[in-house]
């Protein structure tokens, strides 16, 4: 299995998650490490994945094993 380092400055842990941004829908999705680095995606270690936050108005989707169950988008 291919490994890449966490993309955070000063962090030398192994990346375990990939954070992908969808700028059109103002959505950020955290998922298992992707097979290859993609544009607009960031590799993160578990520590930084758990600390990930998104700008106000953005939706952050996390895989369930990482923390709490995903919060469903509020209707209306």
Q: How far apart are CA 32 and CA 4, in angstroms?
A: 12
Q: Which of 18, 43, 45, 62 binds Zn ion (CB under 5 A)?
A: 45
Contact between 62 and Zn ion per CB under 5 A: no
Q: Which is nearer to Zn ion, 37 or 71 (CB)?
A: 37
Binding mask 4-43 for Zn ion (x = CB under 5 A): --x-x--x-x------------------------------
∠ at Cα 61 (56, 66), nearest 5°?
Answer: 120
List residues binding Zn ion (CB under 5 A): 6, 8, 11, 13, 45, 48
């Amino acid at each position: 299995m291919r490994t890449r380092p966490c993309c955070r400055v000063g962090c030398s842990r192994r990346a375990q998650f990939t954070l992908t941004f969808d700028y059109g829908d103002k959505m950020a999705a955290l998922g298992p490490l992707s097979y290859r680095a993609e544009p607009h995606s960031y590799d993160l270690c578990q520590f930084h994945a758990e600390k990930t936050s998104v700008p106000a108005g953005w939706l952050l989707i996390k895989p369930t094993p990482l923390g709490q169950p995903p919060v469903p988008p509020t209707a209306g």
